[in-house]
Amino acid sequence: MPAALGRRFTYVSLLLLGGVGTMPAQSVGAEPLRKTDLVRLLSVGTLGPGELAALVRRTCVSFAPTSRDRADLAALGADSAVLREIDQCARRGALVRAGPRAAAVRPRAPPVRRPQADTVKRVAAAPAGAVRGEPRGVPRLPLSAARTGFVLGGGQRGSVGTRPMVPVVFQVRDTSGAPVVGEAVTVSVTNGQLGAPRAVTDSAGSVRVDLTLGPKAGLTIVRATVRAMEREATLYAQPGAPARLLLRCGDTLVEGRISLTTHVPAVFHVAGQDAFGNAVPVSQVEAATGDKTVLRVALAGGDSLGGVVRVTPGQPGSTSLVIVSSGQREDFTAVVWQTRHSGAACP
């Protein structure tokens, strides 16, 4: 036997005796190769095509190859030389069933279940680490304090009752910088609503927070907790569109009825209110009365404080006062009294 071929055969023997991947120990030349042995050798990729063909030629195989077997092995990378050596084993009648292995000094490896055809395809598509089998119970790496936190969506503004325009994303990474997949994350919020308080990180180590802002205008603070680590993101909830108008006379909120005194002007401030009760400033205001002899609108507009309506009472009586702004309308009843002592409430 040539020296180079002898060295190569010895190297193959050592690999097989040492258990390549998850392959049971075997003595080359003593037992023919099973289909599972060929699958693992092709998946691990330690032997080149020529070396694998030489190994098949020396040991032969223990199974009669079918067309499905040939297709499976070819899908795993077996070239024409390997397949030819397998066919020659069948032609020369050298196929034998592998018998029980002789007792060895080293403990016997557990039996390996022969894979079905669909299993072979999954092995071909899986990475080498998955084929060899990852050890269970490996301790998880610590989380990176610098790389774990909210990576998107913090600091943005949005109307109460709506979802942020940019999604809020929390990412988990370990001290090696790799994303942590399948990690449980607990989420809580102040001044907001969550779609779910718990989530699991995806393949990128990320969790997307299902958040609705509000109901109060102001800060919305989202907290995410993973293991013993907590991180926060701050968003800003703004008032929504006006849903109604508020009319104030001084510090008094007018509710439906206004009492005035003849010939004593009164100034009203107009503000909006959204569906959640948040104040919404308005700048453009229109006003009208039902009877100008009882009450006349002297000014309707806006200033730095919001909308302003100035009215001048005339003769005693009762009429309507209509305020319109930001697509909303409010109707009030204005009663003009002869003297202040008669019940006037708004100077």
Residue 18's pLDDT is what? 39
Query: pLDDT at residue 145 above 70?
Result: yes
Residue 71's pLDDT is what? 84
Residue 304's pLDDT is what? 66
Average pLDDT over residues 105-130: 48
Residue 193's pLDDT is what? 97
Residue 122's pLDDT is what? 45
Average pLDDT over residues 60-66: 84
Q: Which among 37, 16, 18 is positioned nearest to 28, based on CA atoms? A: 16
- Local confidence band at 345 (pLDDT 50, 70, 90 cut-offs): low
Residue 302's pLDDT is what? 82
Count of beta carbons in the 10 Å neighbourhood of residue 253: 9
Residue of higher predicted confidence among 324 and 95 = 324
Report the C-alpha gap between 321 and 330 in whole angstroms: 8
- Local confidence band at 17 (pLDDT 50, 70, 90 cut-offs): very low
- Local confidence band at 109 (pLDDT 50, 70, 90 cut-offs): low
Query: pLDDT at residue 33 above 90?
Result: no
Query: pLDDT at residue 250 above 60?
Result: yes
Residue of higher predicted confidence among 196 and 107 = 196
Structure tokens at 83: 């397949």
**Distances from the Cα of 190 to the Cα of 87, 218, 220, 232, 276, angstroms:** 71, 10, 6, 11, 16
- Local confidence band at 116 (pLDDT 50, 70, 90 cut-offs): low
Query: pLDDT at residue 118 above 70?
Result: no
Query: pLDDT at residue 42 above 70?
Result: yes
Domains of the chain: 3-99+112-132 (no CATH), 149-238 (2.60.40.10), 244-342 (2.60.40.1080)
Residue of higher predicted confidence among 42 and 152 = 152
Query: pLDDT at residue 26 above 70?
Result: no
Query: pLDDT at residue 69 above 50?
Result: yes
Residue 10's pLDDT is what? 40
Which residues contact residue 289 at a Cβ distance below 8 angstroms, ignoring those fewer than 6 apart? 295, 296, 297, 311, 319, 320, 321, 322, 334
Residue 128's pLDDT is what? 39
Among 13-27, 161-175, 332-346, top mean pLDDT goes to: 161-175
Query: pLDDT at residue 120 above 50?
Result: no
Q: Which among 188, 219, 187, 193 is positioned nearest to 206, based on CA atoms? A: 187
Average pLDDT over residues 291-296: 95
- Local confidence band at 98 (pLDDT 50, 70, 90 cut-offs): very low
Residue 111's pLDDT is what? 59
Residue 195's pLDDT is what? 96
Average pLDDT over residues 134-154: 84
Query: pLDDT at residue 284 above 60?
Result: yes
- Local confidence band at 230 (pLDDT 50, 70, 90 cut-offs): very high
